[in-house]
Amino acid sequence: MSLSKQSKHKKSRSGQTEETYAAIDLGSNSFHLIVQSISSQGIRTQDRLRERVRLGEGINSCDSLTQHVKDRAVECLKRFCERIRPVKPRNIRAVGTQALRKLESDDQLLTEFESHLGCPIEIISGVEEARLIWLGARSEFTEEHEEVLLIDIGGGSTELVSGKGGVSSQLASLEVGCVQIMNSFFKGGDLSKSKYQDAKLAIAIELEPVIKRFKSRPLQNYFGTSGSILAISKILGTWEEGRQITSRNLKEIREKLFSLGNVSEIDLPQISMERKKVLPGGVIILEVLMRELKIQSLEAIPGGLREGILTDLIGRDEGLDIREQTILSKMKNFGIDESHALRVSDLAQQIYRSTKKPWGIDTLQVANWIRWSALLHEAGLSLGHDSHTRHGEYLIRNSDMPGFSYTDQKMMSFLVRNQKRKISEQSFFGRGPIQVADQCRLLLIIRLAVLLNRSRISLSIPLEVSASTNTISLFFDRDWIDERPLTQALLDREKELFGNLGLNLEWNS
């Protein structure tokens, strides 16, 4: 089956029993959980949980988390863990946004968070966050809408997405959010008018690099979603009355807030006390965006990141996986030889199928990492043959890859970087769904698939594979292996290399 046909394969849901899915959004201000079931009767929301953890508030100047906020986060994660326990692990996806992006290097903290939540946490890029927000909100756009701009103001970042006909065309993520603005300019809730000017300037500076991309498009419809914008909409009483936020009524809210002098004086029954603490930050961000983008009014709509996570997750289960489209696109962009990449991928998957149970790596995530890494293993050749494995590592780790998390890109770049020759010990990483020993196992699978396809000949390799806990045994056709002294020498080198890493490679030499 060709790569394009593989990626287009769909799984029918007719006749299946009900499936339950859970999406967890670990934001800078709030942690959210949504549980939905899907069957032939449609989609039904079973449960929603939200807790104001204010994770971004607890990040200090050294990008570490204060104990008080950490404890608050852990207690929330324990409660979420109880609720998602009945859901199949493959039907759960938890993502971390701006605050966790800042904490991404703290392996111990993130491992502890995953332990309390009971599932892996995927830290996603700002652009991937923007894509998921669009995916979760686009059902609100009607066919009459021409070019659309969607704004989401979160606790630690603000996402902008433009598109048409439900398809996004421009995505951007700004490192300004309501919690971040309050922490940076209004400590203690003091609403100083001079600090308001400072905050406005900082937001405008952050916006400046991307504003031309959105100004240049013929935007006609403006929408806003999630916490800050929905709170502003509720204050204006516009939720049932067209849900329009105008530059004028937004200015009125801001003037009223800053006339009070401190957030403790805010008296708005429409929103919670926790939301009041960060409301001024959201108002200022939206005010600057509307001014710079010349938006007279925008409509507050439901949907957003959590709904996007679910839509993406359900799509994967039904064969509509954006990650497969991304791999196809990257192969084309990097000029990868598809026939050779498929041969390497097929052999890597063959070896994986024989080793996954003895090696304890029998998960869909690991299977995907092996296949994707094999398909992209020659990405670096687009920049030249010398050091092409390092080039490939850089391209995969730093490219915008819709559908992929930081962990996905980190693992694929690790496997591509170390596909041949010397292994970079510094490229192993401590935190993740698999430990260092298992990273070695995945690496051996990829290296064997690349090594055995070195001749680039489109002939099947007569190979059988067996494995035990720390051993892999390769059984070649005797005539085939006897005719390949280079392959024998390379296998001997792999045997020595991985022996030092605790894995035994055996073959019928």
DSSP string, 431-459: SSSS-HHHHHHHHHHHHHHHHHTTT---S
CATH top-level class of 321-507? mainly alpha
Can you state the percent helix, strand and coil of the chain, rounding each to 5? 50, 15, 30
Q: Where are the alpha helices (DSSP H) in 138-246?
A: 178-185, 193-215, 227-235
pLDDT at site 129 = 94
**pLDDT surpassing 90 at residue 202:** yes
Domain covering 127-304, topology? Nucleotidyltransferase; domain 5 (3.30.420)
Task: Please compute, for residue 157, the number of CA atoms within 13 A of its CA located in the half-sphere on the CB side.
Answer: 24
* Helix (H) or strand (E) segment spanning residue 476: strand 471-476
Q: Do domains 14-124+309-314 and 127-304 have the same CATH topology?
A: yes
- Structure-token pair, residue 6: 């593989």
Amino acid at 381: L
**pLDDT surpassing 80 at residue 41:** no
pLDDT at site 433 = 61
**pLDDT surpassing 70 at residue 458:** yes
Task: Please work out, in degrees rounded to the nearest 5, the angle formed at the alpha carbon of residue 468 by the alpha carbons of 466 and 474.
Answer: 30
3-class secondary-structure state, position 79: helix
Q: Per residue in 466-483, is it b (16+ CB within 10 Å) or e — as a string?
A: ebeeeebebebeeeebee
Amino acid at 458: S
Sheet with 92-96, edge to edge strand ranges = 42-51, 31-39, 19-26, 92-96, 121-123
* Among 10-19, 266-275, 307-316, the range of highest mean pLDDT: 307-316
| Residue of 284, 328, 347 lying closest to 153 (CA atoms) | 284
pLDDT at site 303 = 84
pLDDT at site 91 = 93
**pLDDT surpassing 90 at residue 447:** yes
| Residue of 211, 203, 145 lying closest to 177 (CA atoms) | 203
Phi, then psi, of 463 in degrees rounded to 5:
-140, 135
pLDDT tens for each residue of 19-34: 899 999 999 989 999 9
pLDDT at site 139 = 81
pLDDT at site 9 = 42
3-class secondary-structure state, position 25: strand
Q: Which residue has the higher pLDDT, 239 or 270?
A: 270
3-class secondary-structure state, position 441: helix
Domain extents for the chain?
A: 14-124+309-314, 127-304, 321-507
- Sorting pLDDT into bands at 50, 70 and 90, what band is 236? confident
| % pLDDT > 70, the chain | 93
| % pLDDT > 90, the chain | 53
pLDDT at site 17 = 76
pLDDT at site 509 = 62
Q: What are 39's strand-pairing partners? A: 42
If you search the block for the tokens 């937001």, which residue do you land on? 203
3-class secondary-structure state, position 239: coil
Cβ atoms within 10 Å, residue 298? 26
pLDDT at site 21 = 94
Which of the residue ranges 322-331, 431-440, 464-473 would you say has the lowest mean pLDDT?
431-440
Task: Please compute, for residue 421, the number of CA atoms within 13 A of its CA located in the half-sphere on the CB side.
Answer: 8
**pLDDT surpassing 80 at residue 125:** yes
Superfamily of domain 14-124+309-314: ATPase, nucleotide binding domain (3.30.420.40)
**pLDDT surpassing 80 at residue 38:** yes
Q: What is the mean pLDDT of residues 291-320?
A: 87
227 close to 153: Cβ distance less than 8 angstroms: yes
- Sorting pLDDT into bands at 50, 70 and 90, what band is 81? very high
59 close to 73: Cβ distance less than 8 angstroms: no
- Sorting pLDDT into bands at 50, 70 and 90, what band is 12? very low
3-class secondary-structure state, position 149: strand
> Over the chain, what is the mean pLDDT?
88
Tallying the residues shown for the chain, one arrives at: 509
pLDDT tens for each residue of 348-369: 999 999 999 999 999 888 999 9
pLDDT tens for each residue of 133-147: 999 988 887 666 678
- Structure-token pair, residue 274: 């926790």
**pLDDT surpassing 70 at residue 10:** no
**pLDDT surpassing 50 at residue 40:** yes
pLDDT tens for each residue of 393-422: 999 999 989 999 988 999 999 999 999 988
